[in-house]
């Protein structure tokens, strides 16, 4: 039964991802590998005089289906004609009508050189030409950063170009969820054996290698290659982490016109973080920050985080933080403690794979309160991979009391649950 479910999922994924590579609306991606017009070979078969140019400023990598990087180019097409000609272009089952200026038809079209689809030139109902653009000899394995946690490796394609992207789905019952890793791949110079298809999807559930047989279109020779991966046995939804560090603590009391203040340059500070993933874009987040010496200041909160505003090839995005906090403050043993709920709201940014280092993250954000009865700011910035460094500043004050803490802490992942 489980095998049938996997096959159904594989079929759905394959039909969705590769039914048609419509790259016109695909967002621009990072220029991970520089390409020039010299990296492409233009083949023209035509009954009429025809000219095809590649615009060097239009060679871009685009991100298809959020994980697969594919080059897209713009070509300038010119065809000499007679007055009676009715010329149009068919490309990937779409019809493109051309402009006519005197004795020449012309158009600008986007083309996907990784695919096997030619431009078919028609005059009325008759095919009068064909244009196909392929990759010159260039060897690169472009493994997208969506695969960075899965240690994807390719064996047997040392002399071929291949692009791969990854997506992980949760399967199984709640509390026992496991990963189903799909690796989408496309190569410009190979086709799968006994087909004319140059792309596919490798599905991993246990991490065993997947063997693929292909044919080199240029030499007609058999090429066997293998995709290997590393996948975890479990996918948790609730993640926890803790942190600590010496923080400066500055507090003050102005009760009954008696002003007192206290400053510690290195008070102990403890932090605890939780993140429960509802979906890939939504989570429930919690934190607790405690600093203590002569004064005790504790700030805790729970928030619904919703990602938005993706940019820079989806590596940079912002998250709204809507929720509530609890604040505890005790200036000293002779001062009445403060224990109350506050509702500052916040925003966070996250930049994944910072400086092109896989899985390293720069993030930061802040909470501000609209209340007129007290002041509150909470600002932070983090850097790291598994463990992380955090700069944090928290300030709270009402008419009689105030607390300010700032410093550098180090955080560590603790355990996953659910």
Residues 28, 121 within the same domain: yes
| Domain annotation covers residue 1 | no
- Give the domain CATH number at 114: 2.60.40
Q: What does each C-alpha distance from 205 to 72, 149, 151, 172 come to in angstroms?
A: 32, 15, 14, 11
Cα 104 to Cα 186: distance, rounded to the nearest angstrom:
36
Task: Say yes or no: 244 and 379 in one domain.
Answer: yes
DSSP assignment of 41-66: EEEEEESS-EEEEE-GGG-EEEEETT
328, 386: one domain: yes
Domain assignment present for residue 145? The answer is yes
Residue 9 lies in a domain: no
- How many angstroms separate the CA atoms of 243 and 241, rounded? 7
Confidence of residue 20 (pLDDT cuts 50, 70, 90): low
Task: Indicate if 321 and 406 belong to the same structural domain.
Answer: yes
Point out which residues pair with 192 in neighbouring strands. 214
pLDDT one-digit tens code per residue, 313-337: 989 999 999 999 999 999 988 888 9
Q: Same domain for 339 and 248?
A: yes
- 216 and 359 inside one domain: no
- DSSP run (H or E) holding 13: helix 2-18
Tens digit of each residue's pLDDT (9 = 90 or more) over 41-93: 999 998 889 999 999 999 999 999 889 999 999 999 999 988 788 999 999 88
Considering the domain architecture, whether residues 338 and 263 belong to the same structural domain is answered as yes
Strands 375-384, 388-397: pairing kind: antiparallel
3 lies in a domain? no
Q: Are residues 325 and 198 in the same domain?
A: no
Residue 285 lies in a domain: yes
User: Side-chain half-sphere of 277: how many Cα atoms within 13 Å?
Assistant: 16
Per-residue pLDDT at 139 exceeds 90? no
Average pLDDT score, the chain: 90
Mapped onto helix, strand or coil, the DSSP state of residue 149 is: coil
393 compared with 7, residue with greater pLDDT: 393
- Based on the domain organization, do 120 and 245 belong to the same domain? no
Quick check: 70 and 64 in contact, CB under 8 A? Answer: yes
Q: How many CB atoms lie within 10 A of CB 206?
A: 9
Grade residue 22 by pLDDT with cuts at 50, 70 and 90. Answer: confident
Q: Is residue 5 part of a domain?
A: no
Total number of domains in the chain: 3
At residue 370 the predicted structure's pLDDT band, cuts being 50, 70 and 90, is confident
**Which domain range does residue 158 map to?**
141-228
Dihedral (CA of 51, 54, 55, 60) sign: positive
Let me know whether 121 and 180 are in one domain. no
Q: Are residues 79 and 119 in the same domain?
A: yes
Instruction: Tell me what the mean pLDDT of segment 257-276 comes to.
Output: 93
């Amino acid at each position: 039964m489980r095998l049938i479910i996997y096959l159904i999922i594989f079929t759905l994924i394959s039909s969705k991802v590769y039914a048609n590579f419509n790259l016109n609306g695909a967002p621009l991606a990072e220029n991970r590998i520089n390409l020039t017009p010299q990296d492409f070979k233009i083949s023209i078969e035509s009954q009429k005089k025809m000219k095809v140019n590649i615009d060097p400023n239009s060679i871009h990598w685009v991100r298809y289906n959020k994980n697969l990087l594919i080059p897209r180019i713009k070509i300038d097409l010119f065809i000499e004609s007679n007055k009676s000609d009715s010329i149009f272009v068919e490309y990937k089952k779409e019809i493109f009508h051309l402009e006519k200026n005197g004795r020449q038809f012309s158009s600008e079209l986007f083309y996907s050189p990784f695919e096997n689809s030619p431009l078919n030139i028609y005059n009325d109902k008759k095919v009068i030409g064909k244009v196909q653009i392929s990759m010159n000899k260039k060897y690169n394995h472009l493994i997208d950063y969506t695969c960075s946690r899965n240690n994807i490796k390719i064996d047997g394609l040392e002399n071929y170009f291949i692009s791969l992207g990854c997506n992980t789905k949760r399967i199984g019952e709640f509390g026992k969820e496991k990963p189903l890793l799909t690796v989408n791949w496309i190569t410009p110079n190979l086709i799968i054996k006994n087909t004319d298809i140059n792309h596919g999807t490798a599905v991993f559930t246990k991490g065993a290698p997947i063997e693929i047989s292909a044919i080199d279109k240029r030499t007609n020779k058999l090429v066997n290659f293998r995709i290997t991966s590393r996948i975890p046995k479990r996918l948790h939804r609730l993640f926890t982490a803790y942190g600590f560090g010496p923080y400066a603590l500055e507090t003050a009391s102005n009760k009954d016109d008696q002003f007192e203040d206290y400053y510690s340059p290195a008070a102990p500070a403890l932090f605890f973080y939780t993140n429960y993933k509802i979906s890939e874009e939504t989570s429930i987040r919690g934190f607790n920050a405690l600093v203590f010496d002569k004064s005790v200041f504790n700030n805790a909160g729970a928030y619904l985080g919703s990602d938005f505003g993706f940019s820079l090839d989806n590596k940079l995005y912002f998250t709204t933080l809507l929720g509530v906090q609890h604040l505890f403050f005790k200036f000293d043993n002779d001062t009445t403690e403060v224990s109350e709920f506050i509702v500052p709201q916040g925003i966070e940014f996250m930049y994944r794979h910072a400086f092109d280092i896989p899985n390293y993250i720069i993030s930061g954000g802040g909470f501000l309160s609209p209340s007129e009865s007290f002041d509150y700011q909470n600002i932070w910035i983090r850097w790291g991979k598994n463990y992380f460094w955090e700069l944090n500043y928290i300030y709270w004050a009402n008419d009689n009391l105030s607390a300010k803490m700032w410093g550098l802490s180090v955080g560590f992942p603790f355990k996953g649950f659910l």
